[in-house]
Structure 1
């Protein structure tokens, strides 16, 4: 269950980074509210996950999921560059996340 919590936390991290794009310096109240809710839930699920997953592993995977998701959202939603080099680095990030999962002993 801890790994599911970690994935959910990582997805909420993608949510808060995406919401941050629309907060307009935290003046846009609906997007700021969504940002706060997403960051609170992200941290909550990360905390639940670290009860059973080593802290360093959980944190690295949580940030990896957030970074990966944010880059993909940026390329799809915000038309950020999607060069072959960028895609290769994303694949490298996925490999690192999988490697941490496989070597965590859980």
Structure 2
């Protein structure tokens, strides 16, 4: 069970990597970022699939998406200067609270 959660967290972090990679690849027009993005996608999906062998599909998918969404928004703020408005920050806290709730309920 612990290994499944480890796979899931790594898969979520790889989702952040490929989401940011999509921007860096500039529509898959830059070769190196494009290749790294696709590799991160494949690895992320593979680890998600491995985690789902043990974890409930709804919980695993929601946690994977949540890690990806929160991580991408935070790094978008830090790297690309995306808005860090109070409403966006409160929304991120709410997503995190939902993820914790799913983990505790599962």
Common topology (TM > 0.5): yes
Deviation at 1:23, TM superposition (A): 1.1
Counterparts of residues 63-82 of structure 1 (less than 5 Å): 63-82=65-84
Q: CA RMSD in A?
A: 0.6
Quick one: distance in 2 between partners of 1:78 and 1:51? 36
Normalised TM-score (structure 2): 0.96
Residues 69-95 of structure 1: CA deviation (Å, up to 9, x unaligned): 000011111000101111111000000
- The answer for unaligned runs of 5 or more in structure 1 is none
Gaps of 5+ in 2: none
TM-score, normalised via structure 1 length: 0.96
Corresponding residue for residue 98 of structure 1: 100
